[in-house]
Structure 1
Amino acid sequence: MSESAHTDKLSVTVPSEVAAELRSRAGRGNVSAYVTDALIRQLEHDRLGDLLTELADVHGPVTEEELARARAEWPGR
């Protein structure tokens, strides 16, 4: 991830065991980058959920038949 020209400093509170694993996985000095990458992935996930909700509102829910057809056409199946 490239660093943005503008950044905001945030403060978060997490359980101690989560913080310990974060520090272990992120490495010294890389916690902010690790958390930023995780937040970007979550925000993308949230936006996809918003899109699915909007599509269902406009076109109706996906039927089991449509899901089965899509799964059958998915590569690697």
Structure 2
Amino acid sequence: MGDPARTDKMSVTIPSDLAAELRARAGRGNVSAYVTDALVRQLEHDRLGDLLAELAEEHGPVTEDELAQARAEWPDR
């Protein structure tokens, strides 16, 4: 991520009920930090999706056999 000391001020419009829940969860003084953390997670998720699409395009879709093998080798949580 970029330099934490450098920020841009943005304005967003969200539904009132969502804004109220956000304020309740984050607290009025922490809304920007809460939204920034959520945005970082979403961007990571989006980049992972981009990578998966690129790999599927290059190597083809993952087969059911490959999924079963990966699940069998993955440690239990």
- Greater relative contact order (Cα 8 A, min sep 6): structure 1 or 2? 1
Corresponding residue number in structure 1 for 2:29: 29
The match for 1:59 is: 59
Quote the residue 1:5 is aligned against.
Answer: 5
Paired AA for residue 14 in structure 2: V
Q: Give the alignment's Cα RMSD to 1 decimal.
A: 1.3
Structure 1 length normalisation: TM-score?
A: 0.91
Across the two proteins, how many residue pairs are aligned to each other?
A: 75
Structure 1 segments of 4 or more deviating over 4 A?
A: none
Instruction: Give the share of equivalent positions with the same residue, in percent.
Output: 80
Q: CA–CA distance in 2 between the matches of 1:73 and 1:19? A: 43
Deviation of residue 71 (structure 1)?
A: 0.9
Q: Which amino acid aligns with 1:57?
A: E
Quick one: which amino acid aligns to residue 54 of structure 2? Answer: E
Shift of 1:47: 0.1
- Give how far 1:72 is off: 1.2
